[in-house]
A and B are shown apart, each in its own frame.
Chain A
Amino acid sequence: EAGVVQSPRYKIIEKKQPVAFWCNPISGHNTLYWYRQNLGQGPELLIRYENEEAVDDSQLPKDRFSAERLKGVDSTLKIQPAELGDSAVYLCASSLDRRSETQYFGPGTRLLVL
């Protein structure tokens, strides 16, 4: 069974440019999470989806970050415009449903903003 797929794996952009990350969760997983992991830190939740509904986006910087999960499967996280401080690894995870405590992580997208 394929795991969580993310693309691109690496992205280098200049500040003020837009960037988008894509995630395909494990088939059948209704809950999808986006985390940000700064260097030397643990992941921090940005947004959680139950099917296509964003049910927890309290940590998402809404002035520049947006996310969507059309049809409750794939998801896209966007940053516009990017700032130097956005350099981090963006991880996508999925779980069977919100009651499941087991989250499966993708390999992440490593973003560098110059």
Chain B
Amino acid sequence: QKEVEQDPGPLSVPEGAIVSLNCTYSNSAFQYFMWYRQYSRKGPELLMYTYSSGNKEDGRFTAQVDKSSKYISLFIRDSQPSDSATYLCAMSARNQGGKLIFGQGTELSVKP
């Protein structure tokens, strides 16, 4: 069993839809939770970063962490065609030197 599980999709939604992306994990030592966006043939870019449990909002993006359930989510409101990319969740534990454990990535397509 992988430490981080993520539904690979692909996920296709119409423009303006609310998108929900999720990851589950098994390592209770994870305390730092990130979402990266990766466009085709590009490197991942950090989208959201959350420490421990709670919610964080940045524009149309909201990240949620539920440590009790070992479950994290990324919500995208009013999705745009430019949001079409692969979304990767990533996690790390304290004192691991920033070693990130990534999910498989979910491929999202937003249709105009």
Residue of B nearest to A96 (CB): B98
Whether A95 and B98, one on each chain, are in contact in the complex, defined by CB atoms closer than 8 angstroms, is yes
> Cα distance A44–B100 when bound, in Å?
8
Whether A56 and B99, one on each chain, are in contact in the complex, defined by CB atoms closer than 8 angstroms, is yes
Whether A42 and B102, one on each chain, are in contact in the complex, defined by CB atoms closer than 8 angstroms, is yes
Residue of A nearest to B46 (CB): A102
Q: In the complex, identify which listed stretch (B36-44, B55-63, B67-75) lies at the interface while the others stay far away.
A: B36-44
Q: In the complex, identify which listed stretch (A11-19, A62-70, A104-112) lies at the interface while the others stay far away.
A: A104-112
Which A residues lie at the B interface, using CB under 8 A?
4, 31, 33, 40-45, 48, 50, 55-56, 91, 93, 95, 98-108, 110
- Selected A-B contacts with CB under 8 Å, 15 pairs: A31-B98, A41-B105, A42-B4, A42-B88, A42-B104, A44-B102, A56-B99, A95-B98, A99-B98, A101-B34, A101-B92, A104-B46, A106-B43, A107-B42, A110-B41
